Amino acid sequence: MAWDTARTKQLLLDAAVEEFAEFGPEGARVARVATRAGINKERIYQYFGSKEKLFVAVLESELQKIAAAVPLTAEQARDLGDYAGRVFDYHREHPHFVRLLAWEGLQYQDRVVAESERTGHYDEKIAAVAQAQKSGALSDEVTAGQLMHAVIALTASWFTLPQLTCMLMPAVATAGPEAQRESLVALVRRLTA
């Protein structure tokens, strides 16, 4: 029987997502990834080369998933509040993704991993925002890149800084995820008007 390489890689990636989200690139262990996947750890080195390259593969895979699940066309960019709400929903359903990004920031402060994959992804988003700014649907007081950064940062902060939410907005924090989403959407709409 032939070895199913694609299936094996996917099992390893799925297991690595959980491992890296929980422990970060430094604390993750190849042996635990292999155990979670039910695959010999030598396959990780055979398919990915190193633990760091496995982390890069995980980020690339997860970035493709969010890009497909939460697109931003020029028409959708006209309402960045709605986009922020959709990204918020994605993070609620896939909490590991924002944790992976936080770990990347902590571990690789001086460089971007999976840069080639992301550059095109973010260039498309910036172009969509720029087009919405040009049409007058969004404020052009800041660049499209600054605006996109602000929306991404504001959205991720609900998941990476929950203590701050509790201290600054206790009523919203205790009201639950729907109230938090509404607060985010309203804020982004106000900032981009």
Which CATH number covers residue 95? 1.10.357.10
Q: Let me know if residue 173 belongs to a domain.
A: yes
From the list 111, 18, 6, 109, the residue with the least C-alpha distance to 58 is 18
Number of structural domains in the chain: 2
Domain that holds residue 176: 70-192
Q: Let me know if residue 65 belongs to a domain.
A: no
52 and 76 part of one domain = no
From the list 55, 70, 82, 168, the residue with the least C-alpha distance to 125 is 70
**Which stretch of DSSP H or E encloses residue 58?**
helix 51-69
Q: Kindly report the pTM of this predicted structure.
A: 0.90
38 and 109 part of one domain = no
8 and 38 part of one domain = yes
Give the pLDDT of residue 1: 42
Q: pLDDT in tens for each of the 193 residues of the chain?
A: 456 888 999 999 999 999 999 999 999 999 999 999 999 999 999 999 999 999 999 998 999 899 999 999 999 999 999 999 999 999 999 999 999 999 998 988 877 776 766 788 899 999 999 999 999 999 999 999 999 999 999 999 999 999 998 999 999 989 999 999 999 999 999 998 8
A 10 A CB-CB count for 158 gives: 23
Cα–Cα distance for residue pair 79/49, rounded to 1 Å:
42
Q: Please spell the DSSP secondary structure of 89-144, one letter per residue.
A: HHHHH-HHHHHHHHHHHHH-TTS-TTHHHHHHHHHHHHHHHHHHHHTTSS--SS-H
Q: Let me know if residue 79 belongs to a domain.
A: yes
Cα–Cα distance for residue pair 183/177, rounded to 1 Å:
10
123 and 180 part of one domain = yes
Give the pLDDT of residue 21: 96
- Token pair listed for 157: 């902060």
Cα–Cα distance for residue pair 104/20, rounded to 1 Å:
10
Q: Let me know if residue 64 belongs to a domain.
A: no
Give the pLDDT of residue 135: 95
Residue 107, classified by CB atoms within 10 Å of its CB into exposed (0-12), middle (13-18) or buried (19+), is middle
